[in-house]
Chain A
């Protein structure tokens, strides 16, 4: 999208106040020139995480870690729980949508639709 053009009424009002195109705001025109950009995050990926990729299954290090058996159990349980949660959430969402849709159209039909 292009920047705001000079025909914009706000642009003209700012110029009338003394602003010169290409300069920043503030007593010494020291302000930033560009608006702050933002990117919408629509996932739960952690900081620094890229697109998900399959991790190599083979453990390059042949050593046995005595702590690993301990970590495996909660890890497996956590995965199963996460899967169960996700499934429940999807089912619940489906039910919600169906109920809402039926109930809503049963009672309302606005004139402008």
Chain B
């Protein structure tokens, strides 16, 4: 059993960020004795005024008025996400039909923050306060004043309104997450500000290096001498640090590296419950598999121990969690009970969990990582950065002094851990990103101002794929109409191409259904303990051709059942997910009709369906290695070893030729959403692609 060394306390740093480049600093004034707000319930109003950000209300409004860009640094829980939009509205930034826009990197956070703000303002969600995420719009034009949306949705809005003229202020929240959409958005907003000096930006983050962000947004106007300084905001960014109200968090490290962080996390939870005073526990693990395993281990331990352990409530937390399970997490803990939330890094900054006093930090998170040489994008478990570690520890000090148990040594933290995480832009496939930039009129991607530039290899690989898909022409411009249509469909360009090609095979009806299924994380409800029945349910829908055709069978069954939730329950299907599939499909149908593409069905001609799928996903073709005993495949393009994921209906069937939609990496690269094909269809679908390289003997 690992023991923890107690070096003393590590109080979260809270100070004005020093700006050596002359940015405006603002010291907090004493608490205001009066409130100008007339909204909200009395108790809610008192809650709002107790948030750390309240002390900075006047400072924030002053800086937004005077500066084009204001950078706000404040810990999660300081209240900036929910309060700043309200301060802006109260100050009149939404008057005259203007909008206050607030972006978040994640859908879950958009919905959560929007609901909270609507509650505090005292209006129904979708009226004065609303949100828009992909495939869902809860706003009312002409009424909505504060609009929450994901970074990606705001980028998409630029395609219709390049200068975002509806918005008076745009707040980019959680900028520290540095998602690919966030970085694109920051670069685009910088361009917009050059042409719209009146647009105000607020860049909000928990950990971001304020100086580099300030440098990025420092715009030197060419004709500044000719303009009146009285009418335009100062282009120099202002930096404001919101002091957190967090309490001291005691950091504990292991004395020696642990041999199994999962087991160590479970053991630590049990010891906390045994030795520490009341307070909820938050455990950071990597993903759903880790979390499910930990939940199971803890529940079994509870059964084998004394009655004291029955007071533990073990709750998983990850993106895509059903709504009811989410509500459990946010419900206050009953007296005498201790809640144990086992989470991915989504609880690191995006969500605020009241009542957490103890944090167990495994030191790992799951990260997307793209290798442009092999053209493989995978989710890998990777060490966290110091910034993440500090964020995780901070979750323990929300309501009173807390403790953070780090399952790694202090030496590792000091000497080996990276200060900051790698921005997603530098470890991602750029196909979607380049398509969007091109559609926004940015032809010269070389000169685009990236907060963090991707590598040339990643750019080369993306251009190659886009050219082969017919989305870019020989001058690297979007093709007409295909390239622009692909950019307009809010899906991965390969899937969009699949949809647009379906018309040639007379199966657009089926392909739209498949595309909708691919947009949902999973339609199955994983039920532990009834594995046999679950597998039998899957087999009822399984199609010999593969996963995509299986989706069609599920869709058909769902409709025949009258979209029954009982039918879903009986077949281990997620009713909410299937309703979402139908909703997404309806939206895709509307888009396709706007393009003038007819809705056609191939009836049961699955060869047409498979050929249409190849038209989009030809780059992901694989063949089974001869004499392979364990189902090893190799990608045609880069000869990577891949395997069919056990969740696929083609698992163990191992057809000779397959195409996959995505890869999941654990110890190997696993193909998900796999379909069997004929090799001759590849040269039919993508002659350019396969002729650009030395002929593969297997293809002839």
Contacts and interface: CB of A to CB of B under 8 A. Distances in A.
B257 A14 contact: no
A13 B454 contact: no
B559 interface: no
B554 interface: no
Interface string A42-77: 101111111010000000000000000001001101
Contacts of B445: 17, 25
A100 B649 CA distance: 10
A65 to B, nearest CB: 10
Interface residues of A, number: 63
Interface stretch (B129-137, B196-204, B263-271, B577-585): B263-271
Interface in B609-663: 638, 651-657
A82 B450 CA distance: 48
Contacts of B444: 17-18
Interface string B433-473: 00000000000111111101111111111111101100010
A17 B450 CA distance: 17
Contacts of B372: 4, 35
Contacts of B655: 110, 112-113
Contacts of B412: 47-48
A29 B447 CA distance: 8
Interface string B240-278: 000000000000001001111111101100110010000
Contacts of A9: 463-464, 467-468, 688, 692
Interface in B651-689: 651-657, 665-667, 676, 678, 688
Interface stretch (B218-226, B341-349, B480-488, B528-536): B528-536
A7 B457 CA distance: 13
A4 B258 contact: no
Given A1-B638, A3-B457, A49 B258 contact: yes
A110 to B, nearest CB: 4
A50 B301 CA distance: 28
A32 B407 contact: no
A45 to B, nearest CB: 6
Interface stretch (B64-72, B76-84, B374-382): B374-382
A103 B446 contact: no
Contacts of B653: 104, 108, 110, 113
A13 B472 contact: yes
Contacts, number: 233
B113 interface: no
Contacts of A111: 544
Contact of B1 (A37, A71, A112): A71
Nearest to A10: B464
The 8 A-B pairs of least Cβ separation, nearest first, read A31-B453, A10-B464, A46-B258, A42-B667, A49-B257, A47-B408, A38-B369, A10-B463
Given A38-B367, A110-B653, 11 more contacts: A9-B463, A25-B446, A33-B456, A36-B427, A45-B257, A47-B417, A71-B1, A74-B267, A74-B274, A113-B654, A113-B656
Interface of A: 1-4, 7-11, 13-14, 16-19, 23-27, 30-42, 44-50, 52, 71, 74-75, 77-78, 81-82, 84-85, 92, 96, 99-101, 103-104, 107-108, 110-113
20 contacts: A3-B457, A4-B460, A8-B692, A9-B463, A9-B688, A10-B461, A10-B464, A13-B472, A17-B444, A23-B456, A32-B453, A35-B426, A41-B382, A47-B409, A48-B411, A77-B305, A78-B266, A92-B531, A99-B531, A112-B656
Interface of B: 1, 3, 254, 257-264, 266-267, 270-271, 274, 296-297, 300-301, 304-305, 362-364, 367, 369-374, 378, 380-383, 407-409, 411-412, 416-417, 422, 426-427, 444-450, 452-465, 467-468, 472, 474-476, 531-532, 535-536, 539, 542, 544-545, 638, 651-657, 665-667, 676, 678, 688, 692
